[in-house]
Amino acid sequence: MSQYRTIYHGNFIHTPTPAKLEVLHSALVCVGPEGVIEWIEEDVQGEMIQDISGRYGIDLLDGAATAAVQVVQIPQGEFVCPGLVDTHTHAPQYPNIGLGGALQLLDWLEQLTFPEERKFADIEYARQVYGRVVERGLGFGTTTCCYYATTHVEASLALAGICLERGQRAFVGKCCMDRNCPHDYVETTEDSIQDTEKFLSAILSTSSSSSKSLAPLVQPILTPRFAISCTPQLLSSLASISKTYTPPLLIQTHLSENLAECDVAAELFPDSKSYAAVYADHGLLAPGTILAHCVHLSDEEMDLIRDTGAGIAHCPNSNTHLSSGCARVRTMLDKGVKVGLGTDCSGGNSPTIMTAMRHASDVSRFRSFVDQSTSSLSLAEIFYLATMGGATLCRLDQKIGSFAIGKEFDALHIRPVSPTLWAQKGDSEERLFERWIWGGDDRDVADVWVRGRRVAGSA
Ligand SMILES: O=c1[nH]c(=O)c2nc[nH]c2[nH]1
Ligand SMILES: [Zn+2]
């Protein structure tokens, strides 16, 4: 933890609500030693920095740094935005990125995914893969990530350890699956529960925060793979485990991704009214439950999800790559369902939320071409999903996702340098932002801060 306060001066762009992109022009943002935003002032010209800081009891020498304060200038033509939140990905599947586009979900799991995940019994292999996953994720600007790991406790803990060491805010889940999986990659119900308890006690004892006032940067998330691969007993037991904690532990699973999957779920749970109801009936839907995909939901299922406070990780790359379908995100938002974005590697073929934003936009446009009563998502809505929307799914909306006093400073410094980003002198901040979202890449991510600490960046 830095002993410094840092004062950032420049243009900040965020979406505290989906309605509008908000620019804080020439803002002064003061971040305290624990990485929490202490104050924000807008429209501050260079010569005013010293005066305004003085009003907050900070003495600067000629507007520059002192021993206890550093001043970071973000030049015109560059900007700072909130870090990106990936609400759903599978760290052990990254070695398969790009493969499997000719398959659909259930065959893809059997032929490609389970064989790769099984390899994570080898802890050295796990460390090697997970180190690369976390390093690249931070480089792309993913400051918070919800990870599925595998069934293996040691490898899942290694992933959590790497996130903590590299400084990525993360939720890490040991995957639970006790049926309909290959004989050499499946757990008994008892082992799945016991290993989950082992994983929880280990991660909770090692990931405590360095400060009493801050939550741990890396936290566990309960991870029943999906209804098909979990017995009713396992689903209910994981729901009970969640509720033994205050607040209850986060939960992640998959829901209604592929039509063949929906049919099998209906056969396995004939007493539940719908696929979403399977999870509700087993006590798994609550604020902090992240449901990946939700491509084939009925209106009633969306209402159920909204009413329980659970949220949806929209994974457009994956839904296209595995030919699953086009999720009805506009309807979800109109109904007041919480929605964030997920890369869902390696169902998704790109590990960055930049691509997820572009595909979310494309999918919403395709839906609106086919159904003219549906409007596509705006740029502000797309960026909201990638930041505040994701934060809300993880119950972190009071901590990250936008710039406000009391929030933690998870942010990206965007300096346009990539060859496809044709920034022009005189571009407004909004225009520059738009260029970056559609035309930029990680080369433009000059600095990545999580809780005020610089953890990556191309600069
Ligand atoms: O996109 C997906 N990836 C997975 O690994 C998985 N497992 C069950 N359902 C799944 N969907
Ligand atoms: Zn997934």
266 and 351: one domain? yes
Output the CA 114–ligand 1 centroid distance in Å.
Answer: 10
For ligand 1, is residue 87 a contact (CB within 6 Å)?
no
Same domain as 92, residue 77:
no
What ligand has the least distance to the C-alpha of 105?
A: 1
Domains identified in the chain, total number: 2
Do residues 51 and 100 share a domain?
A: no
The answer to whether 395 touches 247, Cβ cutoff 8 Å, is yes
Percentage of the chain exceeding pLDDT 90: 92
Please identify every residue whose CB atom is under 5 Å from ligand 2, which is an ion.
Answer: 292, 344
Ligand 1 pocket test, candidate residues 225, 256, 322, most atoms within 8 A of CB: 225
Domain end: 374, 394, 414, which one?
394
pLDDT at 1 over 70: no
Place of tokens 């609550």: 286
Query: Model confidence at 66, in pLDDT bands (50, 70, 90)?
Result: low
pLDDT of residue 68: 86
Same domain, 390 and 427: no
> How many CB atoms within 10 Å of residue 101?
12
b/e sequence 265-286, b meaning 16+ C-beta within 10 Å: beebbeebebbbbbbbbbbbbb
Domain assignment of residue 50, given as a range? 5-82+402-457
In this structure, which residue's CA is closest to atom 1 in ligand 1? Answer: 347
Which of 99, 106, 178, 254 is the best mutation target for the ligand 1 pocket, counting ligand atoms within 8 Å of the beta carbon and taking the most?
254
Averaged pLDDT, 268-287: 98
Amino acid at 450: V
Q: How far is the CA of 409 from the centre of ligand 2 (A)?
A: 28
Residues 348 and 338 sit within 8 Å (Cβ to Cβ): no
Please tell me whether residues 151 and 55 are part of one structural domain.
no
Residues 260 and 158 in one domain: yes
What CATH number should be reported for the domain holding residue 437?
2.30.40.10
Do 167 and 54 reside in the same domain of the chain? no
Per-residue pLDDT averaged across 21-48, rounded?
A: 96
What's the token pair of residue 431? 């225009």
Same domain, 339 and 406: no
Cβ neighbors of 323 (< 8 A, separation 6 or more) are: 104
What does the angle CA 311 – CA 241 – CA 315 come to, to the nearest 5 degrees? 25
Placement of tokens 């893969």 in the chain: 129
**Ligand 1 touching residue 226 (CB < 6 A):** yes
Q: Would the CA dihedral through 348, 349, 352, 354 be positive or negative?
A: negative
Query: Cβ distance 69 to 29 under 8 Å?
Result: no
Which atom of ligand 1 is the closest one to the Cα of 261? 9
DSSP three-state, residue 166: helix
pLDDT confidence band for 370 (50 / 70 / 90): very high
Q: What does residue 297 show for φ and ψ, rounded to 5 degrees?
A: -75, 145
Nearest CA to ligand 1 atom 2: 347
Question: Does the CB atom of residue 321 touch ligand 1 within 6 A?
Answer: no
Report how far residue 47's alpha carbon sits from residue 239's, in angstroms, rounded to the nearest whole number.
56
- Ligand 2 centroid to residue 255 C-alpha, Å: 9
Secondary structure of 343-357 as H, E, C letters: CCECCECCCCHHHHH
* pLDDT tens track for 348-369: 999 999 999 999 999 999 999 9
CB 312 within 8 A of CB 279: no
Cα(314)–Cα(326) distance, integer angstroms: 10
Quote the radius of gyration of the chain (alpha carbons, Å). Answer: 22
Dihedral, 326, 329, 334, 335 alpha carbons, nearest 10: 90
Q: What is the pLDDT of residues 98-109, one digit of tens each?
A: 999 999 999 999
Collapsed DSSP state (helix, strand, coil) of residue 133 = helix
CATH number at 311 reads 3.20.20.140
**Element of type H or E holding 238:** helix 232-243
Q: What pLDDT is recorded for position 368?
A: 96
CB 9 near ligand 1, within 6 Å: no
Say yes or no: 136 and 204 in one domain.
yes
Largest CA distance in the chain: 72
256 lines ligand 1 (CB under 6 A): no
Among 93, 105, 230, which residue has the most ligand 1 atoms within 8 Å of its CB, making it the best to mutate? 105
Say if residue 246 is in the same domain as residue 316.
yes
